[in-house]
Structure 1
Amino acid sequence: MRLKDCHNFRDFRRMAQQRLPGPIFNYIDGAADDEVTYRRNTEAFEAVDLVPNILRGVGEVDMSVTVLGQKLAMPVYCSPTALQRLFHHQGERAVAAAAHKYGTMFGVSSLGTVSLEEARKIAPGPQVYQFYFHKDRGLNREMMARAKAAGVDAMLLTVDSITGGNRERDKRTGFSIPFRLNLAGLTQFAMRPAWGLNYLTHEKFSLPQLDSHVDMGGGTMSISKYFTEMLDPNLTWADVEQMVGEWGGQFCLKGVMSVADARKAADIGCTGIVLSNHGGRQLDGSRTAFEQLGEVVDAVGDRLDVMMDGGVQRGTHVLKALSLGAKAVGLGRYYLFPLAAAGQAGVERALNNMRIEIERAMKLMGASRIDELSRDNLKFR
């Protein structure tokens, strides 16, 4: 399969599956327990119909939005994700460059494989730093100071990952960082020699945000062990409120789902929240972000920026979320499969596909600006 034949999410997923060893593909593609929430994230969009308006004079479409104090040329952004250089040797460099080209926001993860300073140089535009709260409070302060020094615009604290989700696909292959695979996993790597050659002929894998604090060389640090041993399950609202004060700028909580928690986030000074169930990778059986969106926007939409992610595969999905009041919509697997398939060229093609789909859908909906979308455009079945 070739990049020019990729027209949608499923095409990119298929191309990535052809390129990646099974354990790595399943790390991206997999989710927790029975993966019910993962499937329902996309299905939730299908339970709502768009109701278009006609004859509205939509020759020109402005799809720009302002979120977390940053202007984006399109209402989607690349959510920060871990381990990107495992999927393609360009990793976060490719995503930063593609996001910058399309005028949108991206982010580097605490578990990123390129330093946030390097990513900042590649993409001086809108950027967030995705942060996990560690038991080591000194590490937390150091990482925040480092992000501020690098000129990162907004802090994004992930709050739904105080322990790792039960990702059974990873258990079956022994997927961990560094690789400590079982026989089933090793066999699948042997079937993708081109990936192995690529991996071995580029710079050594590392986690620059954590290198001075996590020993990855001994081979004992699996992803689930990182979540279980290094992250602090005792994280409280008081801890977050202290972080908000220390950061002193745009501060967003990712992983909020309930109205009560959304209100609390606004009360302690957060400027944004991302409704998210972590792509179905944490608590299986969780409600979808899209289903929660309307009531959360009603509760706090006038106090902070409400965003959402999870299951977004089409421009029409984005329009449905925007019509419910989301300020912007996060993409995860939507750009990770293209990254794995073709590096920067893949991410650019995916973002361009999304841009074209949103523009076309806005014209067909009779909306020339994002703020012309409303719940009048939607009918729930």
Structure 2
Amino acid sequence: MASKFDTRYPSIDDLRQRAKRKIPKFAFEYLDGGCNEDVNLHRNTSELREVQLKPKYIRDFNGSSLKTNLFGIEYDAPFGIAPVGLQGLIWPNSAEILAKAAFNHNIPFILSTVTTTSIERASEITEGKSWFQLYHPTESRLRDDIIKRAAAAECPVLVILCDVPTFGFRPRDIRNGLAMPPKMNLSNILQVFGRPHWGIETLKHGIPSFEVLKPYMPKGLDLKQLGKFMDETFSGRLNEEKIKPIRDMWKGKLVLKGVASEYDTEQAIRLGLDGIIVSNHGGRQLDAGESAIKPLSTIAEKYGDQIEVMMDSGVRSGPDVARALASGASFTFMGRSFMYGVSALGKKGGNHTISLLKTELQQVMEQLCCEKTTDFSKYLI
């Protein structure tokens, strides 16, 4: 697909500012915020942007290609759409909008367990190309059923999450009633009235719900009961005993997301996983932790020939993708950038954001005289 975007919004920050004006404050702060004092949220991007690249001009140059091979599949760019919870709360129907845009542009879309469209619907939209990210259930029966649904939907990759052993402490969400159990307070209601487009779209598509989990949820849950259901149904703490049955059951590629150390990388290799995503959950879990870019280089250099090393957290733009690839990532994922785009531009936001990122990254490659995405490390200072 041609990389054409709306020139009124030529940066992710333009989309972020428009998104802030388009969606209620509680939804924007849920999307935009980190945890505690947002230290690691900002560290993610600021430290990534300390990475510098050096061009090599006087040489034969045959043009640049964004095409990237991952798990035996050729994608049209070295980035994909990361899993995001409660997408339909941020912008109505956004999960489906982004899944369709990812399919149109031939990049991966990862569906979260706690987002607002189903495994089956995402697979239908992407013709069986969407990945699925699993929050680990407390019951093996539920785990097995969800995995069987992902397999039946032909998801090529299953992503298991290791960086949510507890819910991050997020003051904004607590103030806004988006902790568990969630609640709609008077302030939130007034915010909705101030964002009529968001309200109309929500009425059109319906109140967002956990579509992946709907078959397992008792009918008629109120918000307080929903919080209890989530606490009782999921345990984010992974160990070898939890991962082994998943590896035995899942025949496709298996990826561990949330890796921030050599130790967890070694465990992933030992347990037979196919890939890791170096990530700190977008700075939403551990404010005192490292930025994602810090452990990436060491992990990629030490283990990159044993397991596929990918990255998310702090990646916002085309130049950021280039920095991550140059630092050793074979592929990158973004969540907020795409949600800013769809919140700003609705059904056009997915295609716009992907096209913008492709254009930015293409310019970086051509400026460096870098022909392939696998060559970025040659330009790292």
User: Shorter-chain TM-score: what band?
Assistant: over 0.9
- Residue number among 214, 235, 238 corresponding to 2:238 in the alignment: 235
3-state DSSP of counterpart to 1:94: helix
- Is it true that 1:279 corresponds to 2:279 in the alignment? no
- Structure 2 distance, partners of 1:160, 1:200, is 34
- Is it true that 1:50 corresponds to 2:56 in the alignment? no
Report what 2:67 is aligned to.
Answer: 64
Q: Indicate conservation of the 8 Å contact 1:96/1:106, yes or no.
A: yes
- Tell me whether 345-354 or 206-215 shows the greater mean CA deviation: 206-215
- Structure 1 distance, partners of 2:236, 2:27, is 27
Deviation string 1:105-128 (CA, Å, 9 cap, x unpaired) is: 011111121112111121126421
- Residue number among 322, 333, 336 corresponding to 2:336 in the alignment: 333
- Residue number among 321, 326, 329 corresponding to 2:324 in the alignment: 321
- Residue number among 107, 122, 138 corresponding to 2:125 in the alignment: 122
Q: Indicate conservation of the 8 Å contact 1:104/1:126, yes or no.
A: no
Q: Indicate conservation of the 8 Å contact 2:23/2:91, yes or no.
A: no
- Residue number among 74, 99, 103 corresponding to 1:100 in the alignment: 103
Amino acid at match of 2:214: D
- Structure 2 distance, partners of 1:34, 1:354, is 29
TM-score by length of 1: 0.93
3-state DSSP of counterpart to 1:264: helix
Distance change (3 Å), C-alpha of 1:44 and 1:126: farther
Deviation string 1:292-311 (CA, Å, 9 cap, x unpaired) is: 11110122111111000011
Matches within 5 A, 1:76-87: 76-87=79-90
Deviation string 1:61-88 (CA, Å, 9 cap, x unpaired) is: 1211122332211000001211222222
Deviation string 1:263-307 (CA, Å, 9 cap, x unpaired) is: 110111000000000001111121111111111012211111100
- Structure 2 distance, partners of 1:274, 1:78, is 13
Gaps of 5+ in 2: none
- Structure 2 distance, partners of 1:367, 1:56, is 11
- Structure 2 distance, partners of 1:233, 1:68, is 26
Q: Indicate conservation of the 8 Å contact 2:49/2:323, yes or no.
A: no
Report what 1:217 is aligned to.
Answer: 221
- Structure 1 distance, partners of 2:37, 2:327, is 29
Report what 2:146 is aligned to.
Answer: 143
Report what 1:248 is aligned to.
Answer: 251
Q: Indicate conservation of the 8 Å contact 1:72/1:126, yes or no.
A: no
Ranges of 4+ aligned residues in structure 1 off by more than 6 Å: none
Report what 2:203 is aligned to.
Answer: 200
- Structure 2 distance, partners of 1:116, 1:233, is 20
- Structure 2 distance, partners of 1:259, 1:123, is 34
TM-score by length of 2: 0.93
- Tell me whether 340-349 or 207-216 shows the greater mean CA deviation: 207-216
Matches within 5 A, 1:176-187: 180-187=183-190
- Is it true that 1:349 corresponds to 2:352 in the alignment? yes
Matches within 5 A, 1:23-38: 23-38=26-41
| 1:140 Cα offset (Å) | 0.6
3-state DSSP of counterpart to 1:358: helix
| 1:249 Cα offset (Å) | 2.1
- Structure 2 distance, partners of 1:50, 1:40, is 20
Identity across matched positions, percent:
29
Report what 1:378 is aligned to.
Answer: 380
Q: Indicate conservation of the 8 Å contact 2:330/2:374, yes or no.
A: no
- Structure 1 distance, partners of 2:226, 2:42, is 26
Deviation string 1:16-51 (CA, Å, 9 cap, x unpaired) is: 111101101111011110010000110012222111
| 1:327 Cα offset (Å) | 0.9
| 1:165 Cα offset (Å) | 0.4
- Is it true that 1:14 corresponds to 2:27 in the alignment? no
3-state DSSP of counterpart to 1:62: coil
- Structure 2 distance, partners of 1:234, 1:130, is 15
Amino acid at match of 2:365: M
3-state DSSP of counterpart to 1:368: coil
- Tell me whether 345-354 or 212-221 shows the greater mean CA deviation: 212-221
- Structure 1 distance, partners of 2:322, 2:316, is 12
Amino acid at match of 1:377: Y
Report what 1:300 is aligned to.
Answer: 303
Gaps of 5+ in 1: none
Q: Indicate conservation of the 8 Å contact 2:81/2:110, yes or no.
A: yes
Q: Indicate conservation of the 8 Å contact 2:24/2:195, yes or no.
A: yes
- Structure 1 distance, partners of 2:237, 2:109, is 29
